[in-house]
Structure 1
Amino acid sequence: MKFKFLFLLLVLLCFSNCKEEKFTLTKIEGKQIPITDSLELDPTFDAVIKPYRDRLQEDMNLVLSYAPETYSKADGDFNTAIGNLMADIVYEQSKDVFKSRTSNDIDGVLLNHGGIRSIISKGNITTKTAFEIMPFENSIIVVALKGKQIDSMMHYLARAKRAHPIQGFKLSIDKDYNIVKAQVNGKAIDTAKTYYVATNDYLVNGGDNMNFFARNEGEYPLDYKIRNALIDYFKKTDTINPIIDDRFIQIK
């Protein structure tokens, strides 16, 4: 009993004499820890992942097609060979899928210039090439738009002053970036008609300020990544032949 009393007295004295201490930050120090190839591999772990790494390298280096020239998105002011190729591939790989699901035809394609992340180098086209061009997980969506929204799209393209990839549309502008001619599949835009435009989920969600996609009549996700569309197209095409044409031009 006496021991318990002394213990409690000691605790009370401790609390009564303890004062709150305040700490102030005086300096921050840091140092760089380099990560180099001098770090040793864990042989056990490396042995486990080696078969997967080797198979991945094999798949990525698989030759799918051939490019007779080098193609870059910097090769044209309003349309480029690589951009035209990508828009044409999205149309080619999507049209039958969309037709079978909806009984409707895709009227055109619109992608974004910034979505092309690499060149296509002259020589063999591999799976890796497709991943370099399109490293993002963007998927193809077909959007139903009234002719009025197609008209807004054309005005957006005229003002953008960039070679956003298109297919099915034809746009001519003057030196002041005013629209001279805008067509869908060779015909003038019908403001009362519903058009079906294949694009990607990034743009449908307002990417690159393409807000005209928000006012749509319906969205049809195809569950088909653009990268996979590229790979599927390359597999069935021995030699690609993209060209710069007159789908979007400036008349000076």
Structure 2
Amino acid sequence: MNLKIQHFVIIITIVFSSCVDNVENPHQIVAKELPITPSITTNDSIANFIAPYRERINTVLDSTLSYVTSDLVKDDGKRNTSAGNFMADAVLAQANPIFKTRTGQEIDFVVLNHGGIRSIISKGKVNARTAYQIMPFENSIVVVEMSGTSVKHLLTFLAKSGRAHPVANTKLKLDNQYNYLKIEINGARFNENQTYYVATNDYLVQGGDDMGFFKNRSSVTNLDYLVRNSIIDYFKKMDTISVSVDDRFIQLN
């Protein structure tokens, strides 16, 4: 086990009491810094105790779940990327059945944040450890009910952000002045008078990554389903995964 903590402090409290009825008060407090160095040897009894648990965890994390046909990265496109498309598609595929069962409604589209993608997915076999690497945070999937006007603010943010925030179930086209030439959501033209159900994560709903537009919402449904777990379940469901930069969000030069 690699120890990254460089030191810790032991606090020793010495209590003197002259009578059982007296209130106990600290008489002296001593602090001592104990550096952790390579000279400290492994405690065999502890190592042996945790060994089977470590082996079980590694077996679960490293078991092959699916196969990815090419490297999925977060910087191979201007407005959408292979890694972002994968994550947004996984959230849509896994969250929509849950949301429909609970509410009778369907998710219209997905918006996540580019900064939430923490690793590439290399070509080849993928497993649960891969999911932990790309999404190490404990963020849950939530579905936000939003008016068309609020969604318009969301779309304006995406246009001006300059980052490839992951989206799914959209066809968005910008000109070189950041004006929308096309907006399609869930296979239909955008209607500002319509209510939309947007899947995202709880961090963004709280305003993370400057996404303050989510505060203008009618309701929020927490699916109690981690984004990372949706990726793992998506891996399990898909024998082979092939994702690339596409036309879900593009900008003309």
- C-alpha distance 248-32 of structure 1, shift in aligned 2 (>3 A): farther
More strand by share: 2
Letter in 2 for 1:205: Q
Which residue of 2 is the match for residue 138 of structure 1?
139
Q: Distance in 2 between matches of 1:35 and 1:117?
A: 31
Identical residues among aligned pairs (%): 48
Farther off after superposition, 48-57 or 180-189: 180-189
Which residue of 2 is the match for residue 83 of structure 1?
84
Letter in 2 for 1:108: F
Which residue of 2 is the match for residue 95 of structure 1?
96
Does the 8 A contact of 1:145 with 1:215 survive in 2? yes
Which residue of 2 is the match for residue 7 of structure 1?
none
Does the 8 A contact of 1:148 with 1:192 survive in 2? yes
Does the 8 A contact of 1:67 with 1:121 survive in 2? yes
Given the two structures, how large is their TM-score scaled by the length of structure 2? Answer: 0.84
Deviation per CA, 1:31-69: give whole Å up to 9, x if none: 995644x53111111111111111111111111111121
Farther off after superposition, 182-191 or 40-49: 182-191
Q: Secondary structure at the match of 1:164?
A: coil
Structure 1 runs (4+) deviating above 4 angstroms are 31-34
Larger Cα-atom Rg: 1
| 1:82, distance to aligned residue in structure 2 (A) | 1.4
Q: Distance in 2 between matches of 1:156 and 1:206?
A: 13
Letter in 1 for 2:121: I
Farther off after superposition, 38-47 or 240-249: 38-47
Q: Distance in 2 between matches of 1:223 and 1:47?
A: 35
Q: Distance in 2 between matches of 1:206 and 1:221?
A: 16
Q: Distance in 1 between matches of 2:179 and 2:115?
A: 23
Which residue of 2 is the match for residue 152 of structure 1?
153
Which residue of 2 is the match for residue 167 of structure 1?
168
* Gaps in structure 2 of 5+ consecutive residues: 1-32
Q: Distance in 2 between matches of 1:169 and 1:101?
A: 23
- For the pair 1:187 / 2:169, whether they are aligned, the reply is no
- C-alpha distance 169-126 of structure 1, shift in aligned 2 (>3 A): same
Which residue of 1 is the match for residue 225 of structure 2?
224
- For the pair 1:176 / 2:177, whether they are aligned, the reply is yes
Q: Distance in 2 between matches of 1:49 and 1:223?
A: 30
Equivalent pairs counted in the alignment come to 221
Q: Secondary structure at the match of 2:156?
A: helix
Q: Secondary structure at the match of 1:63?
A: coil
Q: Distance in 2 between matches of 1:138 and 1:77?
A: 25
Does the 8 A contact of 1:69 with 1:123 survive in 2? yes
Q: Distance in 2 between matches of 1:168 and 1:235?
A: 22
Which residue of 2 is the match for residue 129 of structure 1?
130
Does the 8 A contact of 1:154 with 1:171 survive in 2? no
- Over the aligned positions, Cα root-mean-square deviation in angstroms equals 1.5
Does the 8 A contact of 1:150 with 1:189 survive in 2? no
